Amino acid sequence: MTNDPTPDPGRAQFRRTLVRVMAVQVVTLVLLWLLQTRYAG
Amino acid sequence: MHGLDWLIVAVYVTYVVVDGLRRARGTREIEGYFLANRSLPWWAVGLSVMATQLSAVTMIGTTGQGATDGMRFVQFYLGLPIAMVILGVTLVPFLHGARVFTAYEYLERRFNAPTRSLTSFLFLCSRGMSCGAIIAAPAVVFSAVFGWSLPGAVALIGVPTVIYTMIGGVQAVTWADVKQMVLIVFALLAIVAVLLFRLPVSPDEALRIAGATGRLRTFDFSFDLTQTYTVWSGAIGGMFLMLSYFGTDQSQVQRYLTARSVPEARSSLLMSAYWKIPLQALVLLVGVLVFVFYLFETPPLLYNPAHEARVRASAGAEYAGMESRYRELWGAREAAARAVADAPAGDAAGAAAARMMLQAREAEIGAVRSDALALAERTTGETSRDVNYIIPRFVLSHLPLGLAGLFIAGVLAAAMSSIAAELNSLSTATVIDFYRRWVRPTGSDAHYLGISKVATAFWGGVACVVATYAATLGSLIEVVNRFGSFFYGSILGVFLLAMIPFARGWSAFFGMIAGMSAVAAVTVFAPSVSFLWHNVVGAFTVVAVGLLISAGGTRPAPSSAGAGTGTPA
């Protein structure tokens, strides 16, 4: 957490993108995991 | 292949070359030729990064690997998203902000000229050879499938690429990459659609069959250093490999140095972080579905048509016997696959029995295939690599008119995009790190531009020659990969060291020598350790030795620690 009144917009955008990237990875890996547990036994 | 398919391939190759020449207009200085005047949008750079990494080997070899080995290769890329995020906050701001042409140029500012020259030299050796290997892989397949001479296949792939890269520079490379990436994804999705349409079972049943043979087993959590593909080797070793590849390899660094700004350069890398694992899963899934397809459609015993013809000619009787046994077993395997598909949902015991039966039939067929591959290797004297022919053979025999041409154009696109990026970066490192640094530091832009084009043509020639020999020597591609793994981690270690303010002068140079020696020691004394771990060993050794050497000397002058202080040098 920071008390800086003017947060760096580049950093905020990067954080948002990071969250999205990780969300896509989690969804993909969960799908692959489901594929494995449902079909590969 | 039908005339229409060839027309699609010809139109595509012509379009890429002509568009490359068109984009060359207005490029009068080397910043435009090598870095597009740092003016490209993030999405074009991001697609170029992805296209560079996705070579013809991915289109042919990885899909084939999906057919024979299933989805587990995805684990190789588990570390990639994290690596991209780390690079986004560390090396990308440094390199982009430093306004350098090459990643190695930055090392001279941070350490000294020998460190820059050594890293750049290692890059030239490795990429010069690997560029040949990238041409060789599809050229060998095309030559076997279409009956072309090998030099002819190498020329078909290499010559148009060299022309548009040499004349158009990075602008041509990047915009061609964008088109190529679109074509590749479209071709893959088209194949998935055709497969789903042509399979005699539903998608759910197809996945059940693939799962029964273990091909949907993606994750392996065992901590076994000798296994190449596990969750841990991919997440840790793979992360170091990706950090090294995307952070220090000029063929990748140059892509994001062309972005308009640091945020755009970061975003371009994050595009790979977004899409690499889903795309790789799609590539492998194509292979898995082709495997299921061939459970219901008689497959050839040997997929390589050239080897098949030679084996028939010189060991016809033995091969005919194997084929007869293969057909018989294929029929039994088809019946077992149908039993898996038809097993009632509530009958767990029946489903398990059907799965075991399919696995047994699969093992029997695998044994006959192994015998046939051994016969092919004995007869031809060449390593089989039959896995690389599964997808091309399927495409040419079973895809509808037009789609086969689209796929072949996609393979060419994948090869050309990787080769073009490598030639462009080889030329950049040659001119910026050696010619301008050591031979002629005060030339005009027009002079350097001319030299850059000559350097591109030179490396194109080297790559084509290496490609011709790589194909006949067989194991050269493996040598190239092993050679690369010797120093990839060590180069990453140098860049990590650059971010530590305490590190100085010769510490990086000697640290790198120590890192490569450590990897060599691991290779000799623990040869079973997977190569992905070499990157971890190399990087840690460089940092440790570099810090020790720095600690043994005097403190660095303030001006030499720009990177460590958070200010791009």
pLDDT of B294 above 90:
yes
What's the ipTM? 0.78
For residue A41, the distance in angstroms to the closest alpha carbon of chain B comes to 7
Q: How many residues does chain A have?
A: 41
Distance in angstroms (rounded) separating the CA atoms of residues B514 and B518? 6
Say if the Cβ atoms of A21 and B85 lie within 8 Å.
yes
Q: In B474-557, which ranges are continuous DSSP H helix?
A: 476-498, 507-525, 532-552
Rounded (10°) angle between helices B403-428 and B3-23: 30
Q: Do B71 and A33 touch (CB under 8 A)?
A: no
Q: How far is CA A2 from the centre of its chain?
A: 22
Q: Is B278 on the interface with A (CB under 8 A)?
A: yes
Say what the pLDDT of residue B482 is.
62
Per-residue confidence (pLDDT) for residue B561, from 0 to 100: 36
Cβ–Cβ < 8 Å for B288, B203: no
Check if the beta carbon of residue B530 is closer than 8 Å to that of residue B233.
yes
Side chain identity at residue B361, one-letter code: R
Q: At what angle do helices B80-89 and B238-248 cross, to 10 degrees?
A: 40
B86 pLDDT above the threshold of 60 = yes
Q: What pTM was estimated for this model as a whole?
A: 0.84
Q: Which of residues 88-147 of B touch A (CB under 8 A)?
A: 88-89
Tens digits of per-residue pLDDT, B210-233? 999 999 998 988 887 777 788 888
Q: Which of B212, B216, B355 sits opposite A35 (nearest CB)?
A: B216
Q: Residue B566: how many CB atoms within 10 A of its CB? A: 10
**Interface contact flag, A25 B355, Cβ < 8 Å:** no
Chain A residues in contact with B88 by the CB 8 A cut-off are 14
Query: Residue B318: which pLDDT band, with cuts at 50, 70 and 90?
Result: very high
User: pLDDT of B366-401, one tens digit each?
Assistant: 999 999 999 998 998 877 778 888 988 898 888 888
Per-residue pLDDT at B310 exceeds 70? yes
Write the single-letter amino acid at B300: P
- Write the CA distances from B74 to B68, B94, B112, B120, integer angstroms: 14, 31, 39, 31
Q: What percent of chain B has pLDDT over 90?
A: 37
Paired tokens of B215 = 């091909």
Q: Select the more confidently predicted residue: B57 or B437.
A: B437
Six token digits for residue B405: 């041409």
Task: State whether the Cα torsion B317-B147-B470-B300 is positive or negative.
Answer: negative
Average pLDDT of chain B is 86
Q: Rounded CA gap, B53 and B249, in Å?
A: 12
Is any Cβ of chain A less than 8 angstroms from the Cβ of B270?
Answer: yes
Residue B166 identity (one-letter amino acid): M
- Give the closest residue to B43 by CA, choosing from B265, B257, B251: B265
**B554 band by pLDDT with thresholds 50, 70 and 90:** low
CA–CA separation, B541 and B545 (whole Å): 6
pLDDT digits (tens, 9 = 90+) for B237-273: 888 888 888 888 998 899 989 999 888 898 888 888 8
Contact B541, B515 (CB under 8 A): yes
- Percent of chain B whose pLDDT exceeds 70: 94
- For residues B568 and B324, which has the higher predicted lDDT (pLDDT)? B324
Asked if pLDDT for residue B546 goes beyond 50, the answer is yes
Cβ–Cβ under 8 Å, residues B423 and B161 = yes
**Which of A14, A18, A39 is closest, CB to CB, to B208?**
A39
